[in-house]
Structure 1
């Protein structure tokens, strides 16, 4: 019973993140590859044929393979992520959000940007 529930949760996460990734293909600003990474990871835990399909896909497979093998992020993805994080911080700073939230999110996104730019490129 527990194994079936766990398998269903992994598969549900794989399908949900795959759906978000596919939506990201057509919706500007919504990332595709991060959702596909989550989908491939969770599929590997509960749905291996989906994982194989993702890595064999002609469009989605190469970035997934580069991430798994090298932890690589393309330079244009780094630029886009940095611009989006900066825009998010600017919008948050001009909002009426509490100071602790503004400071906390800005610090977190800065740390993410540093981590991202330290990743290898392909």
Structure 2
């Protein structure tokens, strides 16, 4: 079972790293899931992730009080706006744009309703 948790954790870290450069893919949720998986599979990787100078503080903020840092909120908002703008420019069907608008609005509401760290 530990191997499955390890594979899941490594996959989440890979997806988080891809999310750093792709605005469509979120970074922090994958890091949180990776920390969860590593806690069940590898103490060494769990410690590495929590002590990482960039990712560690975000995970600690979430673990301690469910907080998201203001720069991360701004980056997420900008990414969501860019993705939605691309959809509009690409002429995506109205139904899809409306669904996207509802889902992305819910995501933004969740992000901005979290406390700042």
Shorter chain as denominator, the TM-score bin is 0.7 to 0.9
TM-score normalised according to structure 1 size: 0.78
CA distance in 2, matches of 1:24, 1:86: 15
Query: What do residues 15-71 of structure 1 show as CA deviations (whole Å, max 9, x unaligned)?
Result: 12223334556x474654333222112212333332122112333222211111111
Partner of 2:60: 65
Partner of 2:111: 116
TM-score normalised according to structure 2 size: 0.81
Q: How many residue pairs were aligned?
A: 116
Structure possessing the higher radius of gyration over alpha carbons: 1
Which of residues 69, 74, 93 is equivalent to 2:69?
A: 74
Partner of 1:104: 99
Query: Cα distance 1:77–1:58, how it changes in 2: closer, same or farther (>3 A)?
Result: closer
1:84 corresponds to 2:76 = no
Partner of 2:29: 34
Query: Cα distance 1:95–1:108, how it changes in 2: closer, same or farther (>3 A)?
Result: same
- Following TM superposition, where does structure 1 have runs of at least 4 consecutive aligned residues deviating by more than 3 angstroms? 20-25, 27-34
Calculate the aligned-residue CA RMSD, in Å. Answer: 2.3
CA distance in 1, matches of 2:80, 2:54: 26
For structure 1, the 5+ residue unaligned runs are 1-5
Q: Which shows bigger deviation, 64-73 or 44-53?
A: 44-53
